Amino acid sequence: MDFTSTQVGGVVALFMWPFIRVTGLLIAMPVFTTRGVPMQLRLILAVVITLVVASSIPPLPVIDPLTGEGIIIIFQQLIIGAAMGFSLRIAFAALISAGHVISMGMGLGFASMVDPSNGVQVPVLSMFYSIMGTLLFLAFDGHLVTIQVLAESFHIFPIGQGGLSLQALWDLVLWGSWIFAGAVLIALPAVTAILIVNLSFGVMTRASPQLNIFAVGFPLIMVLGFFMMFLTLPSVVPRFSDLTMGALELMRHMLRVSV
């Protein structure tokens, strides 16, 4: 049986173009980009997801990937997938920033370890919130919803219709402000309690200068910080859930405004 170059190109395009968008998502998406996930497993996961979604996507353009038009489409699909994954990473960055804020207030800013997601030093409290966010994301079936949104993206914004619009990229930039807003919402109760204790110690120092405030205040503030973290853990779940849902909705919005 003989195959023409057009038939071969059509078969290759059927899997190649979706594979590039899926790869872009997995490159930027949290959870699956940690150093604990081997590169081989990520590649297998990208191939499996591509095989699943390739059968239900609209007809794809038959374009030689080695031409100028093909190279442009490759970059467009990488940017689309990476933008979708980056919107989710912002939700996790809010948790890590909340850990930074609480750590500085408790005096634990010096206690740090390597975050496997980003490969940088972060406070241990940030690492705690990052692990908790990963477990919550999997418990919410966030990874499955993300794959569902990815499959919908091929219908909302088919391959070959160009890249993301400037409005979509600007919306992604504005979404980055939730790194700080989300961190404040999560860390505000603990930070407020620590601030009140620090003000109380300030009054005590003025009233009794002989009191060794550092020997008494440092362990007390640390214990109070852990206690407030324990009390506010139930409120972290809906906050992180709202951030995750907002990131998934942003994915759809970026595709719609680019059509």
Q: Residue 28: pLDDT above 70?
A: yes
Exposure on the CB side of residue 230, measured as CA atoms within 13 A: 6
Contact residues for 184 (Cβ-Cβ < 8 A; gap 6+): 98, 101
Predicted local distance difference test score (pLDDT) of residue 211? 67
Predicted local distance difference test score (pLDDT) of residue 13? 65
Domain of 225, in residue numbers: 5-258
- Mean per-residue pLDDT, 6-23: 73
Contact residues for 111 (Cβ-Cβ < 8 A; gap 6+): 103, 123, 124
**pLDDT digit string (tens) for 174-184?**
888 888 888 88
pLDDT band at 105 (very low <50, low <70, confident <90, very high): confident
- Mean per-residue pLDDT, 143-164: 83
Predicted local distance difference test score (pLDDT) of residue 118? 58
DSSP track, 73-107: HHHHHHHHHHHHHHHHHHHHHHHHHHHHHHHHHHT
Total domains in the chain come to: 1
Predicted local distance difference test score (pLDDT) of residue 20? 87
Predicted local distance difference test score (pLDDT) of residue 151? 87
Q: How far apart are CA 32 and CA 132, in angstroms?
A: 15
Predicted local distance difference test score (pLDDT) of residue 120? 62
Predicted local distance difference test score (pLDDT) of residue 73? 83
Q: Residue 6: pLDDT above 60?
A: no
